[in-house]
Structure 1
Amino acid sequence: MNPIINYNELWRILHQRRRAGGQDWDKRAHSFFKAVSGNDEAEKVIPSLNLTDSDTVLDMGAGTGRFAVPMAKYAAHVTALEPSSGMASYLEKSMEEEGLSNYTLVRKRWEDVKIGQDIPVHDVVFASNSLGFPDLADGLKKLDAAARKAVHILWFAGPQRHPMDPELKKRLGREEERDFGPDYIFIAQVLHDMGIYANVEVHPTRTVHRYENLDEAVAWWEERGDISPEEKPILREFLSEKLNCTVDGHPVMQRNGWRARIWWEKENRAE
């Protein structure tokens, strides 16, 4: 199929902009784990995967195990693909705390994995916010090749995964800046161009981010909002006003957004 709009090329361009500064996932592992702790997203998502106790599951970009750990309670075996040692350490610790041993940890990037050599084909392939490769079509083809039964992808819907609060944008003088990121529609369009007619569900989300202290909250949003040193005091003042505190004194912030689930069974494709 020859698409009028090349969503794969648009993805590549936006990927280059997002990754210009690089990502240190080992450094971010602790704050990431803390922020998603207590998040009930996995409890809402995993039943929709229809896993059986005989299924094998590949979690591509498993991170700290937010989904891999509970999936291991439903499936026969989970392969967690996670290149970051910092992220993987939290995953292993959580598996141990839950008394789970039916998993394999593979410390490789998805781009470097060879299906059938580094990992076998799995019944179900799952990827949550982990499509961090520049060539979306190639990455999706590999996900499809790794699945025997179905592929499930979670991604954000809307202009940004972590949109900046309108009030903060105003304080920073960024009212005219347009938020734009490659949301789920890019994935659905590239799959369509590949002849894979995926199912799509979009749901509102409400998450609570938990931080150790104000400094940790500032660091979290400083990185995700591309905050300059000159803007950091403004961010700090804003967060000091907006963060709520739990009973144990930890600051928290509620965030509302939209989540898309994209999935297909292996027969949902053009011949």
Structure 2
Amino acid sequence: MVESSMMDSSLISGIDWVRFWEDSYDTRSRIMRRDYEIDDWSERAEDYSESRRTNQYEFGESVYATLDHYGVIPPNSQVLEIGSGPGTFVIPFARRVGHMTAVEPSEGMIRMIHRNAAEAGVKNYSILPKLWQDVNSTDLRGKYDLTITSTVIWMFRDIMDQIRRMEEVTQGYCCVVGGIGTGQTFEAELWKKIMGDTPHPQYPEYPLIYNLLYMHGRIPQVRIIDYTSMRTPENMFRMYRVFYSIYTEITPEVEKTIREALYRDSGEGPCVRKYRSAIVWWDPAVRRKELRGIA
């Protein structure tokens, strides 16, 4: 785990970070041929589950261990996860907390949660089969000790509205786990081969989410973790096929390009990727004095 101190406020002041976030969202939307659909996540469910199970849920275990170390998760906690996928956090968290509630609309992902939980012997969880945007946060006000999300945060154009809704349902902390670029060139090179000069879509997470929180009065804490994902070549092919179908027609030529790139990268063996993510958490009840009263 790599430690990260709080940023110098002089580096992030004077910028409209919400507008920055919205512009990134709008730019990405303009190059999409269709919106992401719940069925896309169902189609990816088994493949995504394989990647998240790498090293016995290394990613989820590292996130839990970090939050536990800093006293974010008290004993017998009630935890809400937004966009749970195949159980990335459900499995490692439920082994240790009082109860885990997963907000997950995809039937495919829900099947994976049940399958992975049964395999892990985890029973203290429940599922809200909805989009987070469709959950009535007022009904859940103050019910949870921790509200956490990862992977789906970039889907919310109204980012501060959704953060406020996260805060509404917690009596403790909120947490966003966001990706950090690792300098890998594979993704950029494959995009160039398939999409040409079309700009690569940006999925802003960290440090943008930190800046948004800080400039709206929160006091976010940050720690950086490294983890590994391992998938079969066929798993990776299906993942890229779904991803590129959002942006272009999947022709035989596109499929061939993906397969050839994966073979050059990993051959017949597993596709191993090293990732880095930022764990950003904050106490909604604690605000910076100079911005107290700002939403």
- Interval containing the TM-score (normalised by the shorter chain): 0.7 to 0.9
Asked whether the 8 Å contact 1:159–1:180 carries over to 2, the reply is no
Aligned to 1:71: 93
Select the residue among 9, 15, 30 that pairs with 2:19. Answer: 9
Q: CA shift at 1:27, angstroms? A: 1.6
* Cα distance in 1, alignment partners of residues 91 and 45 from structure 2: 16
Alignment-mate amino acid for residue 22 of structure 2: R
- Structure with bigger RCO (C-alpha 8 Å, 6+ apart): 2
Asked whether the 8 Å contact 1:79–1:105 carries over to 2, the reply is yes
TM (norm. structure 1) is 0.83
Select the residue among 82, 95, 99 that pairs with 1:60. Answer: 82
SS at match of 1:220: helix
Select the residue among 213, 218, 235 that pairs with 2:258. Answer: 235
SS at match of 1:269: coil
Asked whether the 8 Å contact 2:101–2:125 carries over to 1, the reply is yes
Q: Deviation per CA, 1:165-196: give whole Å up to 9, x if none.
A: 45546756958956744131221122123211
* Cα distance in 2, alignment partners of residues 163 and 134 from structure 1: 27
SS at match of 2:54: coil
Select the residue among 16, 19, 22 that pairs with 2:35. Answer: 22
Distance 1:108 1:76, change over 3 A: same
Of the structure 1 ranges 130-139 and 119-128, higher mean CA displacement relative to structure 2 is found in: 119-128
Aligned to 1:248: none
Asked whether the 8 Å contact 1:159–1:179 carries over to 2, the reply is no
Aligned to 1:143: 166
Distance 1:113 1:120, change over 3 A: farther
Structure 2 residue 174 is the aligned partner of structure 1 residue 156: no
* Cα distance in 2, alignment partners of residues 122 and 112 from structure 1: 18
Pairs within 5 Å for 1:27-46: 27-39=43-55, 40-46=58-64
Distance 1:99 1:56, change over 3 A: same
Q: Deviation per CA, 1:33-67: give whole Å up to 9, x if none.
A: 12322241122111122233321111111111111
Alignment-mate amino acid for residue 6 of structure 1: D
Aligned to 1:256: 274
User: Structure 1, unaligned stretches of length 5 or more?
Assistant: 246-250
Aligned to 2:240: 221
SS at match of 1:52: coil
SS at match of 1:117: helix
Asked whether the 8 Å contact 1:159–1:181 carries over to 2, the reply is no
Asked whether the 8 Å contact 2:44–2:238 carries over to 1, the reply is no
Asked whether the 8 Å contact 1:198–1:268 carries over to 2, the reply is no
* Cα distance in 2, alignment partners of residues 73 and 55 from structure 1: 11
* Cα distance in 2, alignment partners of residues 142 and 86 from structure 1: 26
Report the number of matched residues: 260
TM (norm. structure 2) is 0.76
SS at match of 2:84: coil
Distance 1:224 1:261, change over 3 A: same
Q: Deviation per CA, 1:137-175: give whole Å up to 9, x if none.
A: 111111112211111211112399x96445546756958
* Cα distance in 2, alignment partners of residues 133 and 159 from structure 1: 23
Distance 1:104 1:141, change over 3 A: same
Aligned to 2:66: 48
* Cα distance in 2, alignment partners of residues 146 and 254 from structure 1: 37
Percent same amino acid among aligned pairs? Answer: 23
* Cα distance in 2, alignment partners of residues 83 and 200 from structure 1: 29
Give the CA RMSD over aligned residues. 2.9
SS at match of 2:113: helix
* Cα distance in 2, alignment partners of residues 195 and 221 from structure 1: 38
Alignment-mate amino acid for residue 45 of structure 1: V
Select the residue among 146, 155, 166 that pairs with 1:124. Answer: 146
Alignment-mate amino acid for residue 239 of structure 2: W
